[in-house]
Every structure is written in structure tokens, then in C-alpha cells.
Structure 1
Amino acid sequence: MLAKVNRITHGSDYRATVRRGARFTGASTVSYVRSNRDTDAVRFGFIVSKAVGNAVRRNLVRRRLKAAAYEVLPQLMEASRDGAGMDIVIRALPASAQATWATLHEEVSRGAARILSRQPTGQRATVTASPAKANVRP
């Protein structure tokens, strides 16, 4: 489970990350990443709408995403040792309702690898899931 210091708890932080962060798109999730100078921690937030399914299915997806985030947290913490923290919001798409644990874990891991390989700037960028078709739009 993610510690409280590693969770986004305010709606304003969710909004700022989704609106101003870099976007990484996968088949089942969309991840938004924004550097946060207010804290030195890596923080995660999760958005799982009713389009994913009923409450049981949404909570299952959210728990799987949290567990996957917990596993990639040490890698991201090492990368953010420059003093600035990082906010990451993962939005579950309706396809995540049928996705297996391995699929969701792979998407979160792949998103973390992209974050580590390319530190986002202040501008929002879109990166598609296919490595062969890496479209970047400012």
C-alpha cells in the first residue's frame, strides 16, 4: 500500500497534474506526470470512473493500479532525488475492467520507464503506447 506521503490527496493537485502534466497513453490507462517543487516525494493519484464498471470492478482496478504503483515507486524515487517531487495521476479507461493484473502492471511499469527516460517539461506532451509510433505533440 502506498504511504500517505506518496498519495495525492487534494483535488487541486489532481487538476493541476491532469491539465499541465505530460500525458502517456496506454491501452487501459492514461498517465499524467508533472514535477512538483512543493514536495520532494513521488505522489500517485488514481481516477477510476463509473465507465469502468460497478463499484466492485472499479475498486478492483484501483487496487491493482495502486499495487503496481507501489512496485515502481522505488525506481521513481531514485530518479526524483534532484529535490523536486513528481505527481503522477493514472486514469483507468473502460478497457481496464477486463485487463488482467499483468496487463495493468505492465502499463504502469512502461509508463514509469518512459518517465525515467524522458523527464517532462512544463509543456504537455502526448505519447502513444506503441513504441514504433511514438507521436509527440506539444
Structure 2
Amino acid sequence: MLSAEHRLRHRDDFTVALRTGSRAGTRRLVLHWAATDRAHPTRVGFVVSKAVGGSVVRHRTQRRLRHLAVARLAVLPAEGGLLVVRALPAAGDATSAELAGDLDRGLRRLGLVDRG
């Protein structure tokens, strides 16, 4: 489970990440990263719109993404970052392994994870 201190909740934080941050996209996901000067742990938020599917599909997709993000918190910068993971319509039909690959690819493109 993503702890409360690592959850991105406020609209203003989402706006900062989406409008001013760097962006990297894959077929199923778009990742937005904004490094901030505020002293807080790196926080992660998710955007899964109705275009992904019905309620069950959207919630399943978000749960999968949240689980994958928890596993990758250790490789992200420890402080001052906002990461928004936006699911595209193809994410609704994707397996967890496919979403994991897309998430890793996006993190590498943003320069947050080594290419190795």
C-alpha cells in the first residue's frame, strides 16, 4: 500500500506536475515528473479517466499502478518530487507485467532510473 506521506492528493500538486514537469509517454501510460524545492518525500498520484474503461476497470488499473509504484519508490529521489502516472485507454486491457514495463520505460526516459 502507498503510505499517506507518499500519496499525491491536492489538486495544486497535480497541476504543478502536469503543467511544469517533464513528461515521458508510452503506449499505455504518460508519466509527469516535477522536482520541487519543498522538503517532502517524493509523492505519487494517478489519473485514470473514464476513457480507460468502466468503474471496475479503472479501479483495477489504479490498484495495479499503485502497487507497481510502491515497488519503485526506493529508486526515485527521496525528497522533493511529484510523479503523476496518467493511464491511457490501452492501460485498461493491459496486464500487470505490461504496465510494469511501461512504468519502468517511462522512469528511464525521465532519467529517474538508470538505463541498466
Is the TM-score greater than 0.5?
yes
Q: Distance between the aligned counterparts of 2:67 and 2:108, measured in 1?
A: 17
Paired residue secondary structure (2:52): coil
Map of 1:85 onto structure 2: 80
Aligned: 1:45 with 2:45:
yes
- Pair 1:59-2:59 in alignment: yes
Report the secondary structure of 2:2's partner residue.
coil
Unaligned runs of 5+ in 2: none
Counterpart contact for 2:30–2:106, Cα < 8 Å: no
Aligned residues: 113
Q: 1:15–1:74: structure 2 CA closer, same or farther, 3 Å change rule?
A: same
Is the alpha carbon distance of 1:75 and 1:55 closer, same or farther for their aligned partners in structure 2, counting shifts above 3 Å? same
Q: Kindly state the Cα deviation for residue 10 of structure 1 after the two structures are TM-superposed.
A: 0.3
Q: Report percent identity of matched pairs.
A: 36
Q: Over aligned residue pairs, what C-alpha RMSD do you find?
A: 1.5
- Shift in Å at residue 112 of structure 1? 2.4
Q: Any runs of at least 4 consecutive aligned residues in structure 1 with deviations exceeding 4 A, and if so which?
A: none
Q: TM-score, normalised by structure 1?
A: 0.77
- CA offsets per residue over residues 31-64 of structure 1, 9 Å max, x none? 0000021133111000000011110000000001
Structure 1 distance, partners of 2:11, 2:39, is 16
Partner of 2:73: 73
Per the normalisation by structure 2, the TM-score is 0.90
Q: Aligned residue for 1:32?
A: 32
Provide the rounded CA distance (Å) in 1 between the counterparts of 2:58 and 2:113: 30
The corresponding residue for 1:116 is: 112
Instruction: Structure 1: give runs of 5+ residues left out of the alignment.
Output: 119-138
